[in-house]
Structure 1
Amino acid sequence: MRKLILIAAILTLGVTVKAQEAGKVEKPKIYNPEANAKADIAAAVKTASAQHKNVLLQIGGNWCSWCYLFNDLVTQNAELNKHMNDNYVVLHVNYSKENTNDAVLAGLGYPQRFGFPVFVILDGKGNRLHTQNSSYLEEGKGHSKAKVMEFFQNWSPTALDPKTYAPKAK
C-alpha cells in the first residue's frame, strides 16, 4: 500500500511539474548575442548626436534576472521611461557565454567588473562619460525608482551642459 501511495505521489508531482513548465511564459530576449555591438554602439552614438541625447548602454544578458528587473522598471514606469527616452538612446549590449563582447567592453574600460547589469553613458561623440554599478541603484529585491531617476537626471545632456547647469554661489 505504501508503495502505491509513493508511486501515486511521484506521478502527481511529475504531472504538476510538467503542467507548470507548459504554462511558463518565456521572457522576451532583450539581449542579442549575435548583434555586432561595435556597429550598434556607433549607430546609437550617431543617433544620439543628431537628437542631442546621450547613449545609455545597458550591459548584461538574457541569463541575468537583475537585468530584467531593471528593464521592467524603466519600461513599465511611465515617468522613468519618459525621462530615459527623452535623454538617452538606449542600447542593450550582450554579455553571455555565447558572446562576451570582450573587445567592445575593453574599449569601455571593462565595465563588467561591476557585475550585471552595468550601465555606461556615452555622449553624442562616443566619449565615455560614466560607468554605473547597478548595485547602487538597488533597493530590496529590485531597483529604486528614485535612485534610477537620479542616475538618469545626473547624466542627462542638460545636467552636463555648462550653459544649463550653474550651481548657485553662496
Structure 2
Amino acid sequence: MKKIIFIAALLVIGIGAKAQNAVAIKPTDTAKLYNPAADAKTEIADAVKKASAEHKNVLLQIGGNWCIWCIRFNDLVTKDPDLNKYLRDNFVVLHVNYSKENTNEKLLAELGYPQRFGFPVFIVLDDKGNRIHTQNSGYLEEGKGHSKDKVMEFFKDWSPAAIDPKSYQASK
C-alpha cells in the first residue's frame, strides 16, 4: 500500500512539474486579467446594466491568471482586429476569477457549474442578465491556441442579432 501511495505521489509531482513548465510560458502583460478580490456578482450586475444600455450581450470569461489557455484566448481576441471589433461591438466582456484565492463557488453554482468544462469557460448573458449559453472553450481550440474562425463563429452565434427573432426572420 505504501508503494502505491509513493508511486501516486511521484506521478502527481511529475504532472505538477509538467504543468508548472507549461505555465512558465511567458504570457503578455494580460497576466492579471482576473481579480481574485473582485465582487463578481456586483461586476456582473454592472455589466448587464451596461449591456442593456448598449444593446449588447454579456460575455463572461471564467478562468484565472494561472490559466495559460485563458491568457491565450484573451491575447487572440484583443490582438486580432476582426475578433476585437466584433467582440466590442456585440458584447460587454467581464473576466470572472476562479482560483484558489477565490473560486466564486456560489456564483458558479447559480450559473450551472460551468467549471465542469475546464478553463477558460464562457457564459453568455442577454441584456437582462439571463444565461443563454455556456461554451466549452475546448471546442474553440486549434493546436496550441484557439481558432480565429471558431471563435468568430461562437461570437456570431451568440450576438444580440443572432438571438433576436426579428433579425432571424429578416435573414431568411
Q: Quick one: structure 1 residues 103 and 153, their matched pair in 2 at CA, closer, same or farther if it must change by over 3 Å?
A: same
Quick check: 1:157 aligned with 2:146? no
**Alignment length, in residue pairs?**
147
Counterpart position of 1:15: none
The partner residue of 2:44 within 41, 47, 56 is 41
Q: Quick one: structure 1 residues 49 and 25, their matched pair in 2 at CA, closer, same or farther if it must change by over 3 Å?
A: closer
Quick check: 1:114 aligned with 2:117? yes
- Report the TM-score, using the length of structure 2 for normalisation: 0.82
The partner residue of 1:63 within 46, 62, 66 is 66
Quick check: 1:85 aligned with 2:83? no
Quick check: 1:96 aligned with 2:99? yes
Query: 2:99 is paired with a residue of what secondary structure?
Result: coil
Quick check: 1:138 aligned with 2:150? no
* Contact residue 27 and residue 68 of structure 2 kept, 8 A: no
Q: Quick one: structure 1 residues 52 and 141, their matched pair in 2 at CA, closer, same or farther if it must change by over 3 Å?
A: same
Q: Quick one: structure 1 residues 28 and 63, their matched pair in 2 at CA, closer, same or farther if it must change by over 3 Å?
A: closer
Q: State the alpha-carbon separation in 2 of the partners of residues 26 and 131 from structure 1.
A: 27
Query: 1:160 is paired with a residue of what secondary structure?
Result: coil
How many percent of aligned residue pairs carry the same amino acid? Answer: 71
Q: Deviations over 1:18-71 (max 9, x none)?
A: xxx9x9976540000000000000000000001000000000000000000000
1:97 is matched by which residue type in structure 2?
K
Q: Aligned-pair distance for 1:118? A: 0.1
- What's the C-alpha RMSD, in Å, of the aligned pairs? 1.8
Q: Which runs of 5+ in 1 are unaligned?
A: 1-20
Q: Which runs of 5+ in 2 are unaligned?
A: 1-23
Structure with max Cα Rg:
1
Quick check: 1:51 aligned with 2:58? no
2:32 is matched by which residue type in structure 1?
K
Q: State the alpha-carbon separation in 2 of the partners of residues 75 and 164 from structure 1.
A: 27
Structure 1: 4+ residue segments shifted above 3 A: 23-28
Q: Quick one: structure 1 residues 52 and 60, their matched pair in 2 at CA, closer, same or farther if it must change by over 3 Å?
A: same
